[in-house]
Amino acid sequence: MTKRTAFVNARLLDPASDLDMTGGLLAEDGKITDFGPDLFKDGVPDVDQLVQCDGLCLAPGLIDMRVQVREPGEEHKETIESASHAAAAGGVTAMVCLPNTEPVIDDISVVEFVARRAREIKMVKLYCYGALTRGMEGEQITEMGLLADSGALGFTDGIKALTDPLVMRRALSYARTFGLLVIQHPEDPDMVDDGVMNEGELASRLGLPGIPAVAEVMMVERDLRLLSLTGGRYHASHLSTAASINAVRRAKFDGLDVTCDTAPHYFALNENAVSDYRTFAKVSPPLRSEQDRNAVVEGLKDGTIDAIASDHAPHDQDSKRLPFVQAECGIIGLETLLPLTLELYHNGHLTLLEALGKVTAAPASILRLPSGRINRGAPADLLLFDPNRPWTIDEEKFRSKSNNSPFHDRPVQGMAVRTFVEGRTIYTAV
Amino acid sequence: MTRSQTAPDFALYRFPHRHLLGIDGLSISEINSLLDLADAYVAQNRQHDKKSDVLRGRTLINLFFENSTRTQASFELAGKRLGGDVMNMSVSSSSIKKGETMIDTAMTLNAMHPDVLVVRHPDAGAVKLLSEKVTGAVINAGDGRHEHPTQALLDALTIRRRRGRLDNMTVAICGDILHSRVARSNIYLLTTMGARVRVVAPRTLMPAGIERFGVDVFHDMRAGLTDCDIVMMLRLQTERMRGTFVPSTREYFHFFGLDREKLSYAKPDAFVMHPGPMNRGVEIDSDIADDINRSVIRDQVEMGVAVRMACLDLLTRGATVN
């Protein structure tokens, strides 16, 4: 018995095919089977679910390629279930979690655990990365081939940089054997030392140890040198500085297979957000100068920065209500990814399709996922949203178990109205 | 029995703040209020009967998460001379899980209704965080490398009593600027009051962006001291250093330690200050430290008590007025 959902009177948006038109879409058994301006011209067929879109935008659901779900290990901060609800409310239909759980995702049994939990919860699609090295200790590469076979989408040591150049060379080289993606948190920990915020006048005034901006580009440039030696696919996460974006721009020009992303806080905020010791804006890498923020916007505009990921990092009150140097790094982002990404559209930096592409087609292409596009045969992972609806971010309303967001009280535009995974409604805005 | 002192007339002084967390943001008139009142307390402290009843019935808690002898003693004496009840609490931050303890300790103490909490903490911003959790006034007695406002005030009082003014004085702050809360508070205070401030240090001990603090930056002691009115030496804070910032104390003293030869570049009547405790032979030669014609280090200690009395007075009376 075929399950059918009809979406009528939608503004269909597909960044992958540059599609922007009014029409209808039909999903059958979780897949998009047809769409177009005249699809329901002769009336809507008999369906299980009829979605009146009223001219709102129907686009691929967001793919958040960098999320920490804290399960297993730190369920008091977030669980796969709470993160899934947060994702659905944010218009995210697929998310990829980092391996820095307890235990670390460096063994197929943990990959399978995550997959099983996601199946049980049956909300958004949950993928994971495998650790690049065992225990994320930076020494021994993991069973990348087996982990990939069991579902790991890429390999990274999470919020730790892989520092040893020889291990990185071997990791890149070995990953290339299977065409696997290596993902780096690019920050030289020796340069970070005890730093907790961007180095500069503000850090000096606050009396906080600074992290120089070069800590990022030093690691990116080293990795790019290694990549030119080994070949393979390399992805730099959450770029925050002008220099490292320039390094990636040059590497792309030189033909290296490199991609990168940034997080909304690196284009929506600068270091001033930590004035007054606001630990909710403490993040790794740190929020940077206004010049760096502008460079992130430029990088998004010219395509150097392929994707935007929320870098969702939930922390409970006890981890954040501390003196700044002791507080944990991280910002939650699943529920603010859409409106903050749309700021780039509302501010005139990107077109609506370009902005959406950073959170749909681009991560899908980097991760080689079949979703993230409106295509016959693609999964019906869809987002119905109003790109203009104004609202104010309210920490009280987060579905995440944690509320560590520096965006509380920020007026934004653009809201998820209804979220679908394989044609099934998983979220409806009230 | 000891209420013979007449407290200074409060109406003359303006300090509309609940806490004293830093110098940054204070106005000229607020700083002058604190210094003027402190001046009056210097006189009181020099009399046979040093006690007044300004803080009678009030409770002052010294809450120190970092070791201190002189600052804690100075606040204790200040509180007692004003007739308040003073309690000292030293919390070793290494032995317990840090941050939770700080908030928990603050909440516990707050339930005992202290009127003033004097807090020192090894982390920048910690005292401000604590001030958000308590009902009484909070005085920052030093937070990490951020601020140490009463030290800057006592330094300013020392200078003002010696020279009669702060504006147009040229003050050279020398040494470990990077790790120093004393340097930051002094830079804010002295630049606000119209003094010309120089900072002198090797580049490894200079904070990033220091040139945007309204100071002149020097990396050579002789150039930095040339024609200055006051030389303010800082302690080399090896306990806050991770890794090497200077190759050796011998080399540091050779290039940045204050000796008579380097001091000769300053004005002939220039005097020398140090917040203590001194590392003799590291940043300052004993010969200068002990020279009562050049060194005002003991004056600074005396001014410290008076300044802290002024701060306690204004903050507690402010609480009554509000």
The DSSP-derived string for A358-405 is: TTTHHHHHHHT-S-SS--TTSB--EEEEEEEEEEE--GGG--SS----
- Please give the pLDDT value at position B102: 82
CA dist., res. A126 & res. A112, Å (int): 11
pLDDT digits (tens, 9 = 90+) for B71-105: 999 999 999 999 999 999 888 755 455 555 788 88
- Please give the pLDDT value at position B93: 53
Tokens for A195? 């730093």
Q: Which residues of A touch B208 (CB under 8 A)?
A: 199-201, 203-204, 210, 212
Tokens for A354? 């370009």
* Cα dihedral A97, A103, A108, A113 in deg (nearest 10): -70
User: Is the per-residue pLDDT at B242 higher than 90?
Assistant: no
- Please give the pLDDT value at position B10: 65
pLDDT digits (tens, 9 = 90+) for A250-259: 999 999 999 9
Phi, psi of B270 (to 5 degrees): -60, 140
- Which of the two residues, B2 and B27, has the higher pLDDT score? B27
Q: Does B207 touch chain A (CB under 8 A)?
A: yes
pTM more than 0.90: yes
Minimal C-alpha gap between B300 and chain A (Å): 24
Q: Supply the ipTM of this predicted assembly.
A: 0.91
The shortest CB-CB distance from A206 to any of B103, B124, B212 is to B124
A325–B181 C-beta distance less than 8 A:
no
Query: Where on the phi/psi map is residue A51: left (φ > 0), alpha (ψ -120 to 50), or beta?
Result: beta
Angle of helix B149-163 relative to helix B28-45, nearest 10 degrees?
Answer: 70
- Please give the pLDDT value at position B12: 73
Q: Which residues of B touch A325 (CB under 8 A)?
A: 123-124, 144
Interface of A with B (CB under 8 A): 193-194, 199-208, 210, 212, 276-277, 318, 321-327
Residue of A190, A194, A198, A206 to mutate, interface with B, max B Cβ within 10 Å: A206
Q: Over the range B45-84, which residues count as b (16 or more CB within 10 Å of their CB) and which as e?
A: beeeebbbebbeebbbbbbbbbebeebbebbbbbbbbbbb
Mean pLDDT across chain A: 97
CA dist., res. B116 & res. A360, Å (int): 56
Q: Does B212 touch chain A (CB under 8 A)?
A: yes
CA dist., res. A281 & res. B298, Å (int): 43
pLDDT digits (tens, 9 = 90+) for A318-351: 899 999 999 999 999 999 999 999 999 999 999 9
Q: What is the mean pLDDT of residues A273-295?
A: 97
Question: Which residues of A participate in catalysis according to the annotation?
Answer: 311
Residue A220: band (very low, low, confident or very high) from pLDDT cuts 50, 70, 90: very high
- Please give the pLDDT value at position B98: 53
pLDDT digits (tens, 9 = 90+) for A388-412: 999 999 999 999 999 999 999 999 9
The DSSP-derived string for B227-273 is: T-SEEEE----GGG--S-SSS-HHHHHHHHSB-HHHHTTS-TT-EEE
Residue B318: band (very low, low, confident or very high) from pLDDT cuts 50, 70, 90: low
Count of H-run helices and E-run strands, chain B: 11, 9
pLDDT digits (tens, 9 = 90+) for B213-241: 999 999 999 999 999 999 999 999 877 77
Residue B8: band (very low, low, confident or very high) from pLDDT cuts 50, 70, 90: low
Using alpha carbons, select from A28, A39, A2, A7 the residue that is nearest to residue A377. A28
A318–B100 C-beta distance less than 8 A:
yes
User: Is the per-residue pLDDT at A20 higher than 90?
Assistant: yes
- Please give the pLDDT value at position B283: 92
User: Is the per-residue pLDDT at A110 higher than 60?
Assistant: yes
**β-sheet bridge partners, residue A49:** A5
pLDDT digits (tens, 9 = 90+) for A151-188: 999 999 999 999 999 999 999 999 999 999 999 999 99
Minimal C-alpha gap between A95 and chain B (Å): 33
CA dist., res. A129 & res. A171, Å (int): 14
Residue A149: band (very low, low, confident or very high) from pLDDT cuts 50, 70, 90: very high
Cα separations in angstroms, A396 against A75, A298, B63: 19, 33, 34
- Please give the pLDDT value at position B322: 36
Using alpha carbons, select from A104, A115, A295 the residue that is nearest to residue A217. A295
pLDDT digits (tens, 9 = 90+) for B245-285: 998 999 999 999 999 999 999 999 999 999 988 989 999 99
Q: Is A111 helix (H, G, I), strand (E, B) or coil?
A: helix
- Please give the pLDDT value at position B67: 85
Q: Does B91 touch chain A (CB under 8 A)?
A: no
User: Is the per-residue pLDDT at B315 higher than 70?
Assistant: yes
B100–A325 C-beta distance less than 8 A:
no
- Closest chain A residue by Cα to residue B210: A201
Q: What is the mean pLDDT of residues A124-136?
A: 97
Q: Which residues of A touch B147 (CB under 8 A)?
A: 207
